[in-house]
Structure 1
């Protein structure tokens, strides 16, 4: 089983980290911690001053060719810096000496480790991070790369930035083992090739390296907990893009609908947003202006839920029989089961209405869809509102899907909107009208939104949307100022000025401005 394999792998990693200090390659005759000068190869290179960007990496590539033993001194270490160093080395052993801080007599290695951890976790996920982390881990496990930290308690702190390639060349300068140091920053460096000079740096490096403390175990622990080591593979950016499209527009490619009936782009978006809200919260409020096809969108929502076998029954609550007939025809075109419920059912009346309502409530379950058309009218019906809410207030395990449609969700104010929200998403309330479009379980269409985000533009410059193959154009508004003389208007203005008018800086309770801001 995968869980068993992960446990075994974790145990093996722990054993490896514990055993690394006693690795056979540690300071052995075959692979000593330091290699004496007389055992280093010496290749011919030329010296080079560097004091401009994008010059250091070419110099490193030049002197690292065919190297077999590389020493690197740095103030701190990063995964990016290691990658830039290691990508030019094919068969070289590496000795890395990192500095530390001495804070009030305490030997602080943690700063170097924290910097290394940040270099992995920060920034975008990428394949090179995975490759570099795996390579670095493998080299430390195998002993070909050894990392030590020169603690500053008894010695001066190590701030030197030096690369030494065999006995051939040394690169001195201000660049740390990092992407900024090697690539981005303007760093001062110099390629030293004189034999006596290179030998001096080799011997001094080895002296400090011998005094330093191994930190491979700490680095391995950071690597083993990092996402590059734990990730099997990165998600392809194309897959991410397709997933975003799927979240926005849904997967409707295999769904059948009646011939000659299709959705406009904004309708497709709205239908799939409502479907996602129904899936996540069991409720959705779809707000769309008159004439934008709420009936068609509601029918497609029901159709796709039924196709996916999420629902068996569909109940449509309307304010009158004429609207019920419109829904009946739409559902017949799609072959959907249809149960109309007139608003009058929820009003107290003579006869067995209460028994009918109780029977309906008991029969509802999670495989039902309750669609409320023009829900603002239904919620404003004082006689039936209480009984309707009682019907919708089901135990969690029997909660039906609820889809509310309206063009005017705030006929009187935000309280109306919150009443609708209480049906589709009880834990959410809104305090200002500007927030309604971003609420969960709400799809809020407006004419400007449709025109800006979903409309096409004709050759004449007019914008339009496509309804089942038919082009529907948005009218262009033209404002024209007409001047005319009117003595009567002048007299009216004088009369208004003389009236004892007063300024009111607040609105009566329940009254709102046109934009709904209060």
Structure 2
């Protein structure tokens, strides 16, 4: 996280003739008055403040004579809800890393015990106490907005003025003393807390506290075929287990290729051995079933598999039906059940269904009761955002609901967000993008001799592509003048619009409108291919208007087509393939009569049906294939939306590259009707296109693959390096899923991946009076808008607004700016199972003791290493970071958590080394500041939870001399 610069309001002081301030405003004004007037006190200084801190006390104590008594009353800050007790606020300074406090705290405790320091809490008094002032004896008073804390005295812009009016001083003093009589005395409790910190903890308490807070994972032995999680996956798994304990589940968004299957299988494994899980329900697409079976079965995890679409199906009376089996499993769900849903974005529209008039969601009706019964649920996907933020809330609705206001009828509410940044910060959401993995690898030092960052998988190095090249290629729409005119003259409009409900991100509300399904489908066909447009026109010309009868239109249509065919019988046309015109018609009526439509659309249809028709869009694709298949011997994946377009491309590509390239396609034609090939057939095509990624020996390899978004999920096609968005998708998730087929880690450090998006030239011409022109522009604007919102969540983009752009993954991505959820991804791997199991065993044995340990601990121990080090456990934004600092060279040492745990591990009776506590605190603060500088994090955002000084055996006396020489001038 980049450190934010702190701009201070300039300090302005008004002084009397003696040079003493009488009024002031700005940053540091409170400290100026302390410097000027605390030395005048001889007996008592009374302070009323909303906050009191140890650092604030340190700032002021040097200006007060030792015999002067401090009296402090802490009141409530006006307009703010008190979230912590006064004691908690004061002791929180023990964890700050910017100021050494041990000597200050020691002196403060001595003052307390001798009666020279009294502190009371007035926050709970019936009459709110908001005043902020200081009274020195009965000589003077200054009041204003400055609290007695570091922020109030030095950082915040405050105002203060002084008075020597004896009547006013008497009035304030009497009022202060009256309040003090009824305020709560904090002295005994505060002395106990501070003395616990002053007295060193044992080394074992430091080790135990660290174990408890880090909640490390054990390494479990796996059967052959199960992949061990790598370090970045372990960070996600550890967090998921904490999320399961705290929230009952998690939504995990991991970019394609980062191993969601391994993450999910490890979560199931780690919940199972400790007796909390005896039933795992896995819901996933059939295409990834084999991968899940390999990872779960080789971890000896018992599970039941169900296809992702089963939840959409209505209940069945047949006992063997998958829907029936799933419902039985869900009805038996309890606290020992884990539900894992892979590719959870399939359920992104369920909340829209619930909120709209479409009817109840079968997905929610089945899953939510199981979650309420105590089942843990983990949602896995690479792309949560599709079209709007309701997609995200739809997935969040599947997670265990939470109490927003426990006092309000104990009602639980679903998690929900209003924007991408808010989504990224949710504690129940984990986001693992490609930039996060690269950042962690760089922090580990996993950089080869050529400067390329790699990901270590056991003994193998894998690399993400060196760069992503994004192209936005413009093409001329075929027959644009004729079809644009036909669209604008409403030849593709249905007579009556259909009701449509959608979610508006800007208003965060469900909206209603009317939609023309025929118009939209026809427009999609025009943006797809000539053959798809021809099919839309044929259906158009088989459909009557509102005032026409089907029988009359059917005969008229047949006559028109026969006449058209007779006029051009010598030319090479595709067959119209229309026998029963009524079966070819749309279900709705058209707005314009058939005769009027036919005059314009028949000639267009005739041109589109010519077998040698080549549109500019295809010519752009042809050039891409020539560049990446013929010239560089690469492979190209082409994504389309229309089955007809897939067949169109297959036919003309085979004709164009006959003998030079092999073309594969996941769509086939059955009785002149295009359809997806059966699952096993499609899988065979995918393996023939990408045999190396499937570890498959193919008799025939495809160079080009034509497919739909049905094959855009969960399929590894990394043998290819080029993806073409031939047809635009609707949602951002489809874009990222398409890219994810090739955006994976390989052994090749020089791999470059290309993404092409074909865009009609018409979008570059704005301010048109043409309705269809503006609709096309709006459609592509919407795709880009959705892409950019999803990009904020995932951390990188896959399409470019410019004609060409390039992303160098190792350097260009600003990870911290694009996502706020990267710090939990801590490397906790690298050592074997034996070491981790021993640490976990200690934690389980002493868990109750760990829970009772104080918040902040200091200790020291001797060890066998030759160099003195200090271990510090830091806390930043509710996450914990163990660091090692070498005292000899004043540098941080890069060690993973397991290595650090091994270094500080000890038995319960391990004695403390004879190192002064004040010196331990100084070194710990120096180590913390070094880490903050390295991570570019402001030190005031970090707390040190515990510190353990590691002293080489027989060198304690020498170390003490070194510490004294080093830090004598710091106090």
- TM-score normalised to structure 2 length: 0.31
Q: 1:363 to 1:114 in 2, by over 3 A?
A: closer
Tell me which residue corresponds to 2:187: 224
Decide which of 278, 283, 289 is 2:244's aligned counterpart.
278
Matches of 2:417 and 2:779, distance apart in 1: 21
Tell me which residue corresponds to 1:96: 68
Matches of 1:495 and 1:218, distance apart in 2: 73
Decide which of 351, 359, 369 is 2:318's aligned counterpart.
351
Q: 1:131 to 1:258 in 2, by over 3 A?
A: farther
Tell me which residue corresponds to 1:372: 341
Tell me which residue corresponds to 2:416: 429
Q: Deviations over 1:300-350 (max 9, x none)?
A: 111111133221111111222x42232111112111112212345432356
Tell me which residue corresponds to 2:382: 407
CA contact (8 A) 1:425 1:441 kept: no
The correspondence of residues 32-71 of structure 1 with structure 2, limited to 5 A, is none
CA contact (8 A) 1:264 1:466 kept: yes
Cα displacement (A) at 1:232: 5.6
Q: Deviations over 1:355-406 (max 9, x none)?
A: 5444323211110101111112355699999333222222776220001111
Aligned with 1:268: secondary structure? helix
Q: Is residue 453 of structure 1 aligned with residue 440 of structure 2?
A: yes
CA contact (8 A) 2:284 2:307 kept: yes
CA contact (8 A) 1:133 1:223 kept: no
Matches of 2:399 and 2:457, distance apart in 1: 28
The correspondence of residues 2-17 of structure 1 with structure 2, limited to 5 A, is none
Matches of 1:516 and 1:480, distance apart in 2: 14
Decide which of 287, 299, 313 is 2:265's aligned counterpart.
299
Q: Deviations over 1:124-180 (max 9, x none)?
A: 225445533432232239xxxxxxx9864xxxx269xxxxxxxxxxxxxxxxxx999
Q: 1:79 to 1:378 in 2, by over 3 A?
A: closer
Q: 1:263 to 1:435 in 2, by over 3 A?
A: same
Aligned with 2:361: secondary structure? helix
Q: 1:280 to 1:507 in 2, by over 3 A?
A: farther
Instruction: Report which stretch shifted further, 263-272 or 132-141.
Output: 132-141
Tell me which residue corresponds to 2:460: 470
Matches of 2:425 and 2:452, distance apart in 1: 29
Decide which of 404, 411, 416 is 2:391's aligned counterpart.
416
Matches of 2:300 and 2:280, distance apart in 1: 12
Tell me which residue corresponds to 1:323: 288
Q: 1:344 to 1:429 in 2, by over 3 A?
A: closer
Cα displacement (A) at 1:478: 7.5
Decide which of 291, 297, 319 is 1:332's aligned counterpart.
297
Aligned with 1:393: secondary structure? helix
- TM-score normalised to structure 1 length: 0.55
Matches of 2:381 and 2:373, distance apart in 1: 25
Matches of 1:253 and 1:278, distance apart in 2: 17
Q: 1:140 to 1:242 in 2, by over 3 A?
A: same
Cα displacement (A) at 1:477: 2.0
CA contact (8 A) 2:248 2:376 kept: yes
Matches of 1:495 and 1:356, distance apart in 2: 50
CA contact (8 A) 1:378 1:385 kept: no
CA contact (8 A) 2:280 2:340 kept: yes
Matches of 1:514 and 1:495, distance apart in 2: 17
CA contact (8 A) 1:84 1:179 kept: no
Tell me which residue corresponds to 1:391: 366
Q: Is residue 252 of structure 1 aligned with residue 217 of structure 2?
A: yes
Matches of 1:475 and 1:243, distance apart in 2: 41
Matches of 1:236 and 1:392, distance apart in 2: 48
Q: 1:227 to 1:453 in 2, by over 3 A?
A: farther
Aligned with 2:334: secondary structure? coil
Q: Is residue 444 of structure 1 aligned with residue 431 of structure 2?
A: yes
Aligned with 2:418: secondary structure? coil
CA contact (8 A) 1:130 1:229 kept: no
Name the Cα RMSD after superposition.
Answer: 5.2
Aligned with 1:417: secondary structure? helix
Aligned with 1:140: secondary structure? coil
Tell me which residue corresponds to 2:787: 515
Aligned with 1:461: secondary structure? coil
Matches of 1:355 and 1:179, distance apart in 2: 64
Q: Deviations over 1:434-472 (max 9, x none)?
A: 332222211111112221234422121101111233211
Cα displacement (A) at 1:495: 13
CA contact (8 A) 2:317 2:324 kept: no
Matches of 1:179 and 1:358, distance apart in 2: 59
Cα displacement (A) at 1:85: 9.2
Matches of 2:299 and 2:91, distance apart in 1: 51
Cα displacement (A) at 1:240: 8.6
Matches of 1:480 and 1:405, distance apart in 2: 27
Q: Deviations over 1:219-247 (max 9, x none)?
A: 99655266344456239799899968976
Q: 1:256 to 1:344 in 2, by over 3 A?
A: same
Q: 1:304 to 1:73 in 2, by over 3 A?
A: same
Aligned pair count reads: 361
Aligned with 2:383: secondary structure? coil
Aligned with 2:397: secondary structure? helix
CA contact (8 A) 1:75 1:158 kept: no
The correspondence of residues 199-210 of structure 1 with structure 2, limited to 5 A, is none
CA contact (8 A) 1:317 1:342 kept: yes
Matches of 1:96 and 1:359, distance apart in 2: 75
Unaligned runs of 5+ in 2: 1-34, 48-55, 76-85, 95-100, 117-134, 142-147, 155-172, 402-413, 472-615, 618-759, 791-971
CA contact (8 A) 1:317 1:373 kept: yes
Tell me which residue corresponds to 2:627: none
Q: Is residue 341 of structure 1 aligned with residue 316 of structure 2?
A: no
CA contact (8 A) 1:121 1:226 kept: no
Q: 1:443 to 1:82 in 2, by over 3 A?
A: closer
CA contact (8 A) 2:45 2:136 kept: no
Matches of 2:318 and 2:149, distance apart in 1: 82
CA contact (8 A) 1:299 1:330 kept: yes
Matches of 1:423 and 1:179, distance apart in 2: 45
Cα displacement (A) at 1:479: 6.5
Tell me which residue corresponds to 1:135: 110
Unaligned runs of 5+ in 1: 1-55, 61-70, 89-93, 99-109, 142-148, 160-177, 185-211, 482-487
Matches of 1:237 and 1:503, distance apart in 2: 72
Matches of 1:254 and 1:302, distance apart in 2: 14
Q: 1:464 to 1:361 in 2, by over 3 A?
A: same
Matches of 1:433 and 1:140, distance apart in 2: 55
Structure exhibiting the larger radius of gyration computed from Cα positions: 1
